[in-house]
Amino acid sequence: MHDLHTLPMCNLSKYAKVLIGASIRYGNFHPSLLSFIHAHHEQLEVANAAFFCVNLTARKPEKQTPQTNAYMKKFLRLSPWKPKTLGVFAGALQYSRYNWWQTRIIQLIMKITGGSTDTSKDLEFTDWDKVRGFAREFWSKK
């Protein structure tokens, strides 16, 4: 496992499989994700590689697929790499980890999108069976 935030140029051909995952923060992927993809897209195209993203939008059933999730669509629009295997997962809303300003911003976003604004508890939206199924599918592909 490697952290794309700190990973320099690398040779992906030495890996049997490459799985890249990214979360959404305040509506965006971390800039290092797309920097890495742009630098390595030719290697990723020929590698046995997959991509998944984690975002709170995916907590809604109609936004849980690569075809219906706005952040996956954004990734595919911005990325020169077009992975054959894609996954979208809902994440957690951890109000307890946010400072006062972050809490208010997230609370506003959740209010606008019809989510929980109760800051007294953290919420887990991840469907772990779906995550396990994606992992099994990825690892079983040749």
pLDDT of residue 141: 84
User: Range with the lowest mean pLDDT among 10-14, 73-77, 86-90, 105-109?
Assistant: 10-14
C-alpha distances in Å from residue 75, one per residue of 24, 60, 82, 117: 11, 19, 9, 28
Q: Tell whether the model's pLDDT for residue 142 goes beyond 90.
A: no
Q: Tell whether the model's pLDDT for residue 1 goes beyond 70.
A: no
Residue 120: burial class (beta carbons within 10 Å; 0-12, 13-18, 19+): exposed
Could you report the per-residue pLDDT of 48-60, keeping only the tens digit for each?
Answer: 999 999 999 999 9
pLDDT of residue 13: 87
pLDDT of residue 81: 97
Domain ranges of the chain: 1-91+138-142, 92-125
- Quick one: pLDDT band at residue 86, thresholds 50, 70, 90? very high
For tokens 């779906």, name the residue: 130
DSSP notation for 25-50: BTTB--HHHHHHHHHHHHHHHHSSEE
| End-to-end C-alpha distance for the chain, whole angstroms | 20
Which residue, among 76, 87, 92, has the nearest Cα to 51 in the 3D structure? 87
Compare 4 and 132 and report the one with higher pLDDT. 132
Compare 139 and 142 and report the one with higher pLDDT. 139
Average pLDDT score over residue span 67-90: 97
Could you report the per-residue pLDDT of 6-31, keeping only the tens digit for each?
Answer: 766 788 888 899 999 999 988 899 99
pTM summary value: 0.90
